[in-house]
Amino acid sequence: MRTLLKAKTLWDGADSLEDPVIVIDENEIAFMASRATGQEPARTLTAVYDFPDATLAPAFFDVHIHGSAGHDVMEATPEALHAVGCFLASCGTASYLATTVSAPVDTTLRALSGLARLIENPGLIEANGNPEQPSARPLGIHLEGPFLSHEKRGAHPCEHLLPPDIGLFDRLFEAAEGHLRLITLAPELPGAAELAAHATARGVRVSVGHSDATAAQTRAAIAAGAASATHTFNAMRALDHREPGILGTVLTDDSLFAELICDGIHNTREMVKIWWRTKGPERAILVTDAMSAAGMPDGAYKLGGMTVQVADRRATINGVLAGSVLTLDRAVTNFIEFTGATVEQALRLVTVNPSAMTRLSGHAGRLEVGQPANLVALDAEGRLSAAFVNGKAVTRCS
């Protein structure tokens, strides 16, 4: 299968190109140039797509997502990840970190082992559906819990929260078979700095969050290797002018990446603007924190072992927000609307920045010849016009 794509502009993750031409051969980018400077290979084409008013760009990468399409990633089955992956692909997301939630240790170990097997063998996921239906792929695992604060646990069950423990971390790391890429950690917990240093030494990125930490405690975690912040503003000590706490540190430390859930529910547009002005185009990351109800009608759904009620786009447990039903394409349009950022600026937050934070830039966030053909087309307002995952056109999600 050989496909030709044309558009008004191409942004490849670094530079822009006017009047681009991209040729996809099977599932890879075979040719990429401007129509003014390059001549695409003269071979038979299976399909031609023209987006005269759109920007072509790398497909999205979500580093914080628990599930969608009625499934939770902790099910860790080919059926669950295929359903999640197909839904994400339809929304322009080609890559993600399968994100856990606090649960009994044995449950988490089983989930990590199952996820590792599927990450190692993506064909097991693809075999559970129509081979012509593209599916986003998990590039690793984000461990959210159990090393979180009781005071700022959000929806995480208090009975499953544990103090930082290097021995337990190593058990979790080994169960994930090297695919643990990111861990959320509350800096104020005893042993947090030591665990941050240990995880970093093992190649796992540390994100501060679900925390009532002071500024000094947060700085200690950053000095030990913490590289990001989990869903900024949510489940964090409030900002105070005499004790800026974790939030003041996250917003003012230029070395730290910072996630944000831009659904208009978790944060107001004013807070989104503050986050954007402080973190800027190099360190801001949009995430969904989506749970199994994403893409589904209102009702009761699972987040790990918990039952979440979803109504009018709000996912809650006893009135506490429990993830979201957001998609990254919607997060991009919300962000542009809330801040006035350009499409290219918004694209960095769902491509280059998450790839840089996770050190997975060779797997997502760029468009290059020879790489998998994972692309999106966005209109002038940042709305998703089309998506291509593994070289195949995907029907947009609603």
Q: Would the pLDDT of 130 be above 70?
A: no
Does the domain spanning 2-56+384-394 belong to CATH 2.30.40.10?
yes
Instruction: Write out pLDDT tens, residues 16-43.
Output: 999 999 999 989 999 999 987 766 666 6
**Mean pLDDT of all residues belonging to the chain:** 95
Mean pLDDT for the stretch of residues 374-391: 96
Domain made up of 60-364: CATH architecture: Alpha-Beta Barrel (3.20)
Long-range contacts of 300-309 (CB under 8 A, 24+ apart): 301/70, 302/67, 302/72, 303/66, 303/67, 303/72, 303/101, 303/155, 304/66, 304/72, 304/74, 304/100, 304/101, 304/102, 304/103, 304/107, 305/103, 305/104, 305/107, 305/157, 306/101, 306/155, 306/157, 308/155
What pLDDT score does 52 carry? 95
Q: pLDDT class for 11, splitting at 50, 70, 90?
A: very high
- Within 245-321, where are the H helices? 245-252, 269-283
Q: Would the pLDDT of 398 be above 60?
A: no
Angle between helix 192-201 and helix 215-223 axes, rounded to 10 deg? 30
What pLDDT score does 83 carry? 95
Instruction: Write out pLDDT tens, residues 211-265.
Output: 999 999 999 999 999 999 999 999 999 999 999 999 999 999 999 999 999 999 9
What is the percent of the chain where pLDDT is above 70?
A: 96
- The secondary structure of 329-367, three-state, reads HHHHHHHHHHHCCCHHHHHHCCCHHHHHHHCCCCCCCCC
Of the listed ranges 8-12, 41-45, 52-56, 246-250, the least confidently predicted one is 41-45
Residue 214 to residue 195: CA distance in whole angstroms: 18
For residue 55, give the nearest of 389, 395, 372, 386 by alpha carbon. Answer: 386
Mean pLDDT for the stretch of residues 355-372: 95
Residue 229 pairs with which residues in a beta bridge?
Answer: 208
What pLDDT score does 46 carry? 85
pTM value is 0.96
Residue 32 to residue 246: CA distance in whole angstroms: 44
Mean pLDDT for the stretch of residues 194-213: 98
Q: Residue 109 class from Cβ within 10 Å (0-12 exposed, 13-18 middle, 19+ buried)?
A: middle
3-class SS of residue 303: strand
CATH 2.30.40.10 domain extents, the chain: 2-56+384-394
Mean pLDDT for the stretch of residues 119-124: 91
Of the listed ranges 28-42, 85-99, 246-260, 363-377, the least confidently predicted one is 28-42
CATH 3.20.20.140 domain extents, the chain: 60-364
Encode 173-185: b = buried (16+ Cβ within 10 Å), e = exposed.
bebbeebbbbbbb
- 207 vs 50, 119, 147, 149, 183, CA distance in Å? 40, 22, 11, 13, 6
Residue that is written with structure tokens 């105070």 in the block: 240
What pLDDT score does 176 carry? 98
3-class SS of residue 249: helix
Note whether 364 and 374 are within 8 A (CB).
Answer: yes
Mean pLDDT for the stretch of residues 283-310: 97
Residue 318 to residue 53: CA distance in whole angstroms: 45
Q: Would the pLDDT of 127 be above 80?
A: no
What pLDDT score does 126 carry? 80
Q: Would the pLDDT of 168 be above 90?
A: yes
289 in active site: yes
Find out whether the peptide bond into 146 is cis, omega within 30 degrees of 0. Answer: yes
3-class SS of residue 164: coil
Catalytic residue among 62, 212, 289, 329: 289
Residue 338 to residue 277: CA distance in whole angstroms: 12
What pLDDT score does 124 carry? 87
